[in-house]
A and B are shown apart, each in its own frame.
Chain A
Amino acid sequence: MNDVQAAISIRGVGKRYASGHSALRDVNLEIRKGEIFALLGPNGAGKTTLINIVCGIVTATEGRVFADGHDVARDYRAARSMIGLVPQELATDNFESVWDTVSFSRGLFGRAPCPRHIESVLADLSLTDKRNSRILTLSGGMKRRVMIAKALAHEPRILFLDEPTAGVDVELRRDMWALVRRLRDRGVTIILTTHYIEEAEEMADRIGVIDRGSLILVEDKVTLIEKLGKKQLIMQLCRPLPEPPPGLDDWGLELRAGGTELVFTYGNRPNIDLSALVRRLGELSIEFSDMRTHQSSLEEIFVGLVSRRT
């Protein structure tokens, strides 16, 4: 992918702090225009450091970053103008009103005042009736909305959401997901970090997994689940078995739940004939009362990926 196509292009980025701690190592990543990209990783993996480098808050020790082809260090005005950032922390002047703080953000990013746009952003985030309220008086969820409004005030083309739904209730989380989708529909590229794998599974087009400063995987969400996910056929037996039946050795079945569940793990192998297994069970007089399939969630894949490295 070349720079013109990529919304964000990260090339060989590393970050070593003065203490000697290496937060990022040789990170290479291309984020496509208009996609929702979820960056997953355990605490301290380097997600926020990477975002902060792209946004100009942290200086990379090595490597280069481009936003829509603009070098974020050398051509910072053009690069930063198109980026909006919603940080993890609810960091703003608590004594200002919602309207003033959002208007301030727009001006800071070089845009002329536009009350109509500010009104539209506040309406999108259900903040219209809070426009004159001091931020101090708002709930945590409302403050989170204000942070998003500030990031959207200058009409960015690329939006970073660092843990956008941390500590918010389910309703607000759903509202935010809807907002993110609306933004994507308007052509905004969205990069989000989250601890809620469900969030990434629900929204992301592609997933990146970062662990201990290294980007260990970047994959299309559907492909990732297909590739690394397990598919299982689970049969609830009428009578418990002491051990897997010898006549089914070729199938590699396992017994679970005290011998009451017979599990066949078939991953993503093509042309699996499950009816043959059912027939074979019948031949061996193994009866089952229920049958279900299970596919690994993104969370299981993520936990598997990270735990494999520890």
Chain B
Amino acid sequence: MTATRAPRRFNRNAVIAIYRFEVHRALRTLIQSLVTPVITTSLYFIVFGSAIGSRMHSVSGVPYGAFIVPGLIMLALFTESIANASFGIFYPKFTGAIFELLSAPVSPLEIVLGYVGAAASKSIALGLIILATSALFVPLHIMHPAAMIALLLLTATTFSMFGFIIGIWAQGWEQIQLIPALIMTPLTFLGGAFYSIDMLPPAWRTFSLFNPVVYLISAFRWSFYETHDVGIGVSLAFTVGFLAICAGVVAWIFRTGYRLKN
């Protein structure tokens, strides 16, 4: 048996191991990981795009079917980022296999890179698949493809980080579902995924500005059609700010060992 060598500054092999392990699980459960969200999104197109879209020609100058595409991608991105990352870290906690992660020579940054990176990759892949699927239903035109990709990356990373926090916080399967079901889904549906907040009465429009999802969808829609509910700068500042808060919470979790270590 050869002498054990410690990873010096950065445990690259651990990040790759976690990343591959997580991606492998998604491939193993391909139907629920990719096919299910694609079917769900297609149903949204049928219900909202065809049924409602046939009675509503355009919103902010964009055909309704095409208008809802960025919102649908964001909806899938939020949901899947949170679900993937929360499950990724909660499952070893649930089975007890977390002991291995805690006893390994890995830093918090490496753990986050592995789990959040894998969760974000999976949801980005899903977002792109939904984008391709939507192209089958409506004509698509992306005005700022680089910004679209950057926003996709930023949002997936931010919400995967948020999901990672939920996974550590959760002490049971029902808690894993709690925040996505009670908070994220309503915020997403009320966040302008299927409409422009300019269509709302003034009071509700003002109320909507307190919904963080409005900023994300608005920025993403801007990258497609240059139409937006709020300024792109404000949207970016909000997303980066939320990412910073999530990073701060994760740092605190690892410093204190909250719900990870006794």
Residues of A within 8 A of B (CB): 17, 52, 55-59, 76-83, 85, 87, 89, 91-96, 100, 103-113, 150, 154-157, 183, 186-188
Whole-angstrom CA separation of A54 from B100 in the bound complex? 13
With known contacts A89-B96, A108-B17, A81–B5 Cβ distance under 8 A: yes
Supplied contacts A89-B96, A107-B16, A155-B1, 20 more A-B pairs, CB within 8 Å:
A57-B261, A76-B105, A80-B6, A80-B105, A85-B100, A93-B25, A93-B97, A95-B28, A100-B21, A100-B24, A104-B20, A106-B13, A108-B13, A108-B14, A108-B100, A110-B105, A110-B106, A111-B5, A157-B3, A157-B4
Within B4-30, which residues are at the interface with A (CB < 8 Å)? Answer: 4-8, 11, 13-14, 16-18, 20-21, 24-25, 28
Tell me if B104 and A155 are in contact (CB < 8 A): no
Whole-angstrom CA separation of A76 from B95 in the bound complex? 24
Task: Please name all residues of chain A whose beta carbon is closer than 8 Å to the beta carbon of B104 when the two chains form the complex.
Answer: 80, 108-110
Chain A, residue nearest B3 (CB): A157
Task: Please name all residues of chain B whose beta carbon is closer than 8 Å to the beta carbon of A79 when the two chains form the complex.
Answer: 105
Contact of A91 among B5, B28, B95, B257 (CB under 8 A): B95
**A interface secondary structure, majority:** loop
Tell me if B99 and A110 are in contact (CB < 8 A): no
- Taking each of B1, B8, B105, B262, which has the highest tally of chain A beta carbons within 10 Å of its own beta carbon? B105
Sorted nearest first, the 8 A-B pairs with minimum C-beta distance are: A107-B17, A91-B96, A110-B7, A81-B6, A77-B105, A55-B103, A78-B6, A80-B105
Task: Please name all residues of chain B whose beta carbon is closer than 8 Å to the beta carbon of A109 when the two chains form the complex.
Answer: 14, 104-105
Task: Please name all residues of chain A whose beta carbon is closer than 8 Å to the beta carbon of B17 when the two chains form the complex.
Answer: 103-104, 106-108
Tell me if B2 and A155 are in contact (CB < 8 A): yes
With known contacts A91-B96, A107-B14, A80–B103 Cβ distance under 8 A: yes
B200 at the interface (CB under 8 A from A): no
Total interface residues in chain B, CB < 8 Å: 36
Task: Please name all residues of chain A whose beta carbon is closer than 8 Å to the beta carbon of B14 when the two chains form the complex.
Answer: 107-110
What are 29 A-B residue pairs whose CB atoms fall within 8 Å in the complex?
A17-B262, A52-B99, A52-B262, A57-B102, A59-B257, A59-B262, A77-B7, A77-B11, A77-B105, A81-B4, A81-B7, A82-B4, A89-B96, A92-B95, A92-B97, A93-B92, A95-B25, A104-B17, A104-B20, A105-B100, A107-B13, A107-B17, A108-B18, A109-B104, A110-B13, A112-B13, A113-B13, A155-B4, A157-B1
B238 at the interface (CB under 8 A from A): no
Whole-angstrom CA separation of A119 from B4 in the bound complex? 18
Task: Please name all residues of chain B whose beta carbon is closer than 8 Å to the beta carbon of A76 when the two chains form the complex.
Answer: 105
Residues of B within 8 A of A (CB): 1-8, 11, 13-14, 16-18, 20-21, 24-25, 28, 91-92, 95-97, 99-107, 257, 261-262
Tell me if B21 and A58 are in contact (CB < 8 A): no
Task: Please name all residues of chain B whose beta carbon is closer than 8 Å to the beta carbon of A111 when the two chains form the complex.
Answer: 5, 13
- Taking each of A58, A76, A109, which has the highest tally of chain B beta carbons within 10 Å of its own beta carbon? A109
With known contacts A107-B16, A108-B14, A108-B17, A56–B103 Cβ distance under 8 A: yes
Whole-angstrom distance between the Cβ of B192 and the nearest chain A Cβ: 38
Task: Please name all residues of chain B whose beta carbon is closer than 8 Å to the beta carbon of A188 when the two chains form the complex.
Answer: 1
Whole-angstrom CA separation of A76 from B107 in the bound complex? 9
Task: Please name all residues of chain A whose beta carbon is closer than 8 Å to the beta carbon of B91 when the two chains form the complex.
Answer: 93
Task: Please name all residues of chain B whose beta carbon is closer than 8 Å to the beta carbon of A157 when the two chains form the complex.
Answer: 1, 3-4
Chain B, residue nearest A77 (CB): B105
Tell me if A104 and B102 are in contact (CB < 8 A): no
Task: Please name all residues of chain B whose beta carbon is closer than 8 Å to the beta carbon of A82 when the two chains form the complex.
Answer: 4, 6
Contact of B261 among A58, A89, A94 (CB under 8 A): A58
Tell me if A87 and B99 are in contact (CB < 8 A): yes
Whole-angstrom CA separation of A303 from B95 in the bound complex? 34
Task: Please name all residues of chain A whose beta carbon is closer than 8 Å to the beta carbon of B107 when the two chains form the complex.
Answer: 77
Whole-angstrom CA separation of A154 from B25 in the bound complex? 22
Tell me if A57 and B21 are in contact (CB < 8 A): no
Task: Please name all residues of chain A whose beta carbon is closer than 8 Å to the beta carbon of B262 when the two chains form the complex.
Answer: 17, 52, 57-59
Chain A, residue nearest B257 (CB): A59
Chain A, residue nearest B21 (CB): A104
Whole-angstrom distance between the Cβ of B262 and the nearest chain A Cβ: 5
Chain B, residue nearest A80 (CB): B105
Contact of A108 among B5, B25, B101, B261 (CB under 8 A): B101
Whole-angstrom distance between the Cβ of A204 and the nearest chain B Cβ: 21
- Taking each of A55, A77, A79, which has the highest tally of chain B beta carbons within 10 Å of its own beta carbon? A77
Whole-angstrom distance between the Cβ of B98 and the nearest chain A Cβ: 8
With known contacts A77-B7, A107-B13, A150–B100 Cβ distance under 8 A: yes
Whole-angstrom distance between the Cβ of B68 and the nearest chain A Cβ: 36
Task: Please name all residues of chain B whose beta carbon is closer than 8 Å to the beta carbon of A85 when the two chains form the complex.
Answer: 99-100, 103
With known contacts A55-B103, A100-B24, A112-B13, A186–B95 Cβ distance under 8 A: no
Whole-angstrom CA separation of A306 from B60 in the bound complex? 80
Task: Please name all residues of chain B whose beta carbon is closer than 8 Å to the beta carbon of A80 when the two chains form the complex.
Answer: 6, 103-105
Tell me if B13 and A156 are in contact (CB < 8 A): no
Whole-angstrom distance between the Cβ of A74 and the nearest chain B Cβ: 13
Whole-angstrom CA separation of A104 from B262 in the bound complex? 25
